[in-house]
Structure 1
Amino acid sequence: MRISTDDFKQVADIVKATPQLRRARLYTPETAQDYYTNDGPSPPFAMQLDFDTLAALEATIAVDGYLQALARLQFPSLTGCVITQQVMARRPFPVDDPIISVAKGNVPCSFLVHYPGHAEDFDAWINYYLTHHPQIMRLFDGIREIEIFTRVDWLDAMPWQRVHYMQRNKQVFDSAAAITAAMNSPVRHQMREDFEKFPPFVGSNVHFPMATHTFTFT
């Protein structure tokens, strides 16, 4: 299952006109293989909308906010889907070569990960994660971007299910094949070794490769 071309265009047209939006990432399903995990098919569609401030974002998802236009539309290709939403703080981390290299007409691929559970001591967990795990991600051959997302409280009036995952992360590569190569490399085993050192938490994690369509605004 995936979003149709027509439905994708409707979403993109609305998103691109969003007030104070700095960057939009629209994600469509891809396929890649990870040595340690197989979490099934990727979602049919996902969005990442980046704002400078929480207030700017909340204005667009208020009862009279601009993004209510999305909620009013019907998307036939997504009929029956459960739509979830979460506002998070975006934390970029450095990579050695951020230049995307894809053939004309192609887009890069992101490995989206979320941790839906909870930690016994969240402060200890997130402090360990942020000071250890992205530093190993940086060692992946061909990694173009690393972002870690942490929880915030927010106000909204969107008619979608709110979720409160304790953390998410995103790694961007040139292609799904590059993700597969990275996730079957020695660095992936280093990641797993570090995973085993995390402070105790419940809920494991979930991984999805997604083709990544980017729109930036000034």
Structure 2
Amino acid sequence: MQVCLFLISASGQQLLPEIAPLQCIDGLRSLVVHEPIAQRVDPRIAPAADAPSCVIQLYFDELAALEAGARLNGPIHRTLREPLIAGRFTQQVMAVRALAPHAPPNQARLERCTYLVAYEGPAEDFDAWLAHYLQHHAPLMSTLPALRELEIYTRIDCTSGLPCARADAMQRNKVVFDDASALADALASPVRESMRRDFHTLPPYQGATPHFAMRSMYGNLATH
């Protein structure tokens, strides 16, 4: 199972860090940078005023490689030093469950549109929560029209020397589409209605569930 480092920039920050050097980190398998889109794509949920200005996802096959990359003065720290030190990012490492075939964009199309969702938690019984989500909610999500990717993330503990605060969402999800129009169509589909009905049967939990529509840019990584 892959692991992913989320680096989440605060709302309103205008500085997009230079991410090209990140692509040379040992063990890094994929890299995605998300920026918010202003248009409304969800008929039920208005665009959030506090959307992060940038979300960076760094994927590794092994936790040890991620920890090596995120050590103090390591390659991630060196590349993103100024925005990290300035407190513009929070960090969270999570396990990745890829539940739909990952069809990466071809070289002529390195952008897609993503709906990022966080369940801040906590759940009253996390085992019951996750079992229901994976057994009932995720299969519905996987039938969204024109879906390109579906990933569910759960938190794990690890070491990190990055000088930024840790986020602690109990779960994150993303669904990915070719563009904002395809995402909007999926969110207006009958599948979404089925998802809303199932949502109301989820085991009890607390916390917010922010939804962010993002423009997603994929790094073109060399083989390590």
TM-score, L = length of structure 2? 0.84
Structure 1 distance, partners of 2:29, 2:208, is 32
1:47 is aligned to 56
Q: Distance in 2 between matches of 1:88 and 1:113?
A: 14
Aligned to 2:46: 38
Aligned-pair CA distance for 1:68:
1.3
2:91 to 71, 85, 88: 85
**Structure 1 counterpart of 2:22:** 15
Match of 1:58 in 2: 67
| 1:93 partner letter | L
SS in 2 for 1:142: coil
Aligned counterparts of 2:212 and 2:171: Cα–Cα separation in 1: 15
Q: Does the 8 Å contact 2:24/2:222 carry over to 1? A: no
Structure 1 stretches of 4+ moved >4 Å: 1-4, 97-102
Q: 2:35 aligns with which of 28, 31, 35?
A: 28
**Deviation, structure 1 residue 84:** 0.9
Q: How many equivalent pairs are there?
A: 209
Secondary structure of the residue aligned to 2:44 is: coil
The 3 A distance-change label for structure 1 pair 122 and 212 is same
CA contact (8 A) 1:3 1:28 kept: no
Cα 1:101–1:180 change in 2 (3 A) is: farther
CA distance in 2, matches of 1:35, 1:81: 34
Distance 2:45 2:86 in 1: 26
Gaps of 5+ in 2: 1-11
What SS class does the counterpart of residue 130 from structure 2 fall into?
helix
- The change in CA–CA distance for 1:74 and 1:197 in structure 2 (over 3 A counts) is closer
Secondary structure, counterpart of 2:35 in structure 1: strand
> Superposition RMSD on alpha carbons, in Å?
2.5
1:164 matches 2:168: yes
- How far, CA to CA, are the matches of 1:208 and 1:173 in structure 2? 14
Alpha-carbon distance in structure 2 between the residues aligned to 1:17 and 1:99:
19
CA distance in structure 1 between the aligned counterparts of 2:172 and 2:186, rounded to whole angstroms: 19
2:152 maps to 1:148: yes
Question: Following TM superposition, by how much is the alpha carbon of 1:135 offset from its aligned partner in structure 2, in angstroms?
Answer: 0.6
Post-superposition offset of 1:160: 0.7
**Which amino acid counterpart does residue 49 of structure 1 have in structure 2?**
L
Letter in 2 for 1:22: R
The question of whether the paired residues in 1 share the 8 Å contact of 2:87 and 2:164 is answered with no
Q: Please name the residue that 2:142 is paired with.
A: 138
Residues 32-78 of structure 1 deviation map (CA, whole Å, 9 limit, x = unaligned) = 32132225143211101000111110011112421111342359xxx
Give the direction of change, closer, same or farther, for the CA distance of 1:155–1:209 in structure 2 (3 Å limit). same
Query: What percentage of residue pairs aligned between the two structures are identical?
Result: 36
The alpha-carbon deviation at position 2 of structure 1 amounts to 6.5
What is the match of residue 191 of structure 2? Answer: 187
Say whether 1:72 aligns with 2:86.
no
Deviation at 1:134, TM superposition (A): 1.6
Secondary structure, counterpart of 2:147 in structure 1: coil
Instruction: Structure 1: state its 5+ residue gaps.
Output: none
